[in-house]
């Protein structure tokens, strides 16, 4: 055999081996679902397109208008409520934030951009959530539906049949009580509307899904307090009694992917306790927005946090004044549009 022939055989062998390796990698590569295709306008549309019955509990969530994620309306709505991702911090049980931080964030005239490290973590999580969702659906046989930003289910259960969904949403977010809503209903709505959430999905059989994709390894079967607050609030908003908490780390180098999920039951008593803790934070925010001054019962908290933090960022809150201009729905939102905030 000539040198040329030997070289050709070797090259052919190398190419075949490379193709075999690539084929094996392709087999092992994680697969994803497109959750943007899992949003439906009605329970009937979801049933028809998915070919599965939908849990009747979800009807009042389908009744809510879909607010496009990261739109100006979505950002504005989140700014004017305590959302599930902030609930633990507002209640004082989060490891990396606290009620004063939430007050600071919610009363800033101009939204501040996330730092580079936060952006890196959020993009990593967002990138791999659909892979985790596919893995979960494969293992359980469940199908996840996307609902976007939600208010409490009771708010739309109270909607009169002669008022459209969009008109009702505008009415229940009014500053003053609309004439068409009586005092008793208005009190109930005001007790519920300051809490909102965007769960990662709810299955057709009524199980809330929350997905976390940390960049480092995690402990299976373990959930942080701030994530517990997040899932308990979302279960309350959706009126479902079970949550599947999913953790997923993609394959990297020689490390195989890590996948885990476990069930969390709804705990109404625990939620009510944390709701009252978070309500104190929301009252600080409302007081500032209504009067332009920091409430007195918050001053000592700020001084304590400022001392522990060792910087001026919190102490400056003591002299913060409300801007005379209204919060824009358009100008300062661009900073967040590409992020899952």
Residue 124's CATH number:
3.90.320.10
Q: How confident is the model at residue 324 (pLDDT cuts 50, 70, 90)?
A: very low
Mean pLDDT (the chain) is 80
Q: Rounded to an integer, what distance in angstroms lies between the CA atom of residue 8 and that of residue 2?
A: 10
Residue 142 lies in a domain: yes
Per-residue confidence (pLDDT) for residue 339, from 0 to 100:
31
DSSP state of 96: S
Structural domain contains residue 238: yes
Number of domains present in the structure of the chain: 1
pLDDT at 68: 67
Question: What confidence score (pLDDT) does residue 273 get?
Answer: 97
Query: pLDDT (tens digit, 9 = 90+) per residue, 75-84?
Result: 777 788 999 9
Residue pair 88/266 in contact by the 8 Å Cβ criterion: no
Confidence at 325, pLDDT banded by 50, 70, 90: very low
- Has residue 238 got a pLDDT over 60? yes
pLDDT: which is higher, 241 or 175: 241
Please check whether residue 183 lies inside any domain of the structure: no
The answer to whether residue 121 scores a pLDDT higher than 70 is: no
Does 15 fall in a domain? no
Tally of helices (H runs) and strands (E runs) in the chain: 13, 7
The most confident of 124-133, 190-199, 292-301, by mean pLDDT: 190-199
Residue with tokens 């892979």: 131
What pLDDT score does 143 carry? 96
pLDDT at 313 over 70: no
Residue 331 pLDDT: 35
Residue 161: pLDDT band by 50, 70, 90 thresholds?
very high
Q: pLDDT value at position 321?
A: 62
Would you state the pLDDT for residue 69? 65
Q: Is 10 among the domain residues?
A: no
Residue 53 has pLDDT above 90, yes or no: yes
Percent of the chain clearing pLDDT 90 (strictly above): 47
72 occurs within a structural domain: yes
In which band, very low, low, confident or very high, does the pLDDT at 109 lie, cut at 50, 70 and 90? low
The verdict on residue 35 lying in a domain is: no
Beta-carbon contacts of 16 under 8 Å, excluding residues fewer than 6 positions away, are none
Distance CA 6, CA 310 (A): 71
Backbone angles phi, psi at 176, to 5 degrees: -105, 155
pLDDT tier for residue 18 given thresholds of 50, 70 and 90: very low
pLDDT at 50: 93
| Mean pLDDT of the region 317-321 | 64
How far out from the chain centre does Cα 259 lie?
20
State mean pLDDT over 119-125: 56
Of 118, 146, 125, 151, nearest in space to 336 by CA:
118
Residue 39 is predicted with a pLDDT of: 86
Is residue 113, in this structure, part of any structural domain at all? yes
Which range is least confidently modeled, 124-133, 137-146, 257-266?
A: 124-133
Which of 38-42, 52-56, 87-91, 281-285 shows the lowest per-residue confidence on average (mean pLDDT)? 38-42
- Which CA distances in Å does 222 have to 89, 246, 262, 263, 264? 19, 10, 9, 11, 11
Q: Which domain holds residue 224?
A: 51-152+193-336
Q: What is the pLDDT at residue 126? A: 67
Per-residue tokens: 133: 């969702």
The whole-number pLDDT of residue 317 equals 67
Residues in the chain: 341
Q: Give the residue with greater pLDDT, 289 vs 337.
A: 289
Question: Residue 261's pLDDT is what?
Answer: 94
């Amino acid at each position: 055999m000539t040198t040329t022939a030997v070289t050709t055989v070797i090259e052919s062998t190398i190419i075949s081996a490379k193709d075999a390796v690539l084929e094996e990698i392709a087999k092992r590569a994680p697969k994803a679902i497109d959750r943007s295709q899992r949003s439906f306008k009605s329970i009937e549309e979801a049933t028809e397109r998915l070919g599965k019955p939908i849990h009747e509990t979800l009807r009042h969530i389908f009744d809510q208008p879909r607010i496009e994620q990261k739109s100006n309306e979505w950002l504005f709505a989140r700014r004017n409520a305590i959302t599930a991702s902030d609930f633990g911090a507002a209640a004082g049980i989060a490891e990396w934030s606290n009620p004063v931080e939430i007050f600071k964030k919610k009363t800033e005239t101009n939204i501040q951009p996330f730092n580079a490290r936060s952006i890196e973590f959020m993009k990593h999580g967002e990138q791999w959530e659909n892979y985790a969702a596919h893995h979960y659906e494969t293992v359980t046989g469940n199908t996840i539906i996307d609902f976007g930003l939600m208010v409490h289910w009771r708010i739309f259960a109270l909607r009169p049949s002669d008022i459209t969904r969009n008109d009702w949403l505008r009415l229940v977010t009014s500053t003053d009580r609309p004439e068409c809503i009586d005092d008793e209903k208005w009190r109930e709505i005001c007790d519920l509307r300051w809490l909102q959430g965007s769960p990662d999905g709810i299955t057709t059989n009524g199980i809330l899904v929350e997905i976390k994709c940390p960049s480092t390894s995690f402990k299976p079967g373990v959930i942080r307090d701030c994530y517990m607050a997040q899932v308990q609030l979302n279960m309350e908003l959706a009126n479902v009694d079970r949550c599947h908490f999913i953790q997923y780390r993609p394959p990297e180098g020689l490390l195989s992917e890590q996948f885990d999920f476990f069930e969390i039951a709804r705990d109404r008593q625990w939620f009510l306790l944390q709701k009252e803790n978070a309500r104190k934070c929301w009252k600080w925010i409302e007081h500032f927005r209504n009067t332009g001054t920091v409430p007195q019962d918050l001053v000592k908290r700020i001084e304590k946090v400022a001392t522990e933090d060792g910087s001026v960022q919190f102490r400056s809150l003591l002299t913060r004044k409300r801007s005379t201009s209204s919060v824009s729905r358009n100008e300062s939102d661009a900073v967040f549009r590409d992020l899952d905030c």
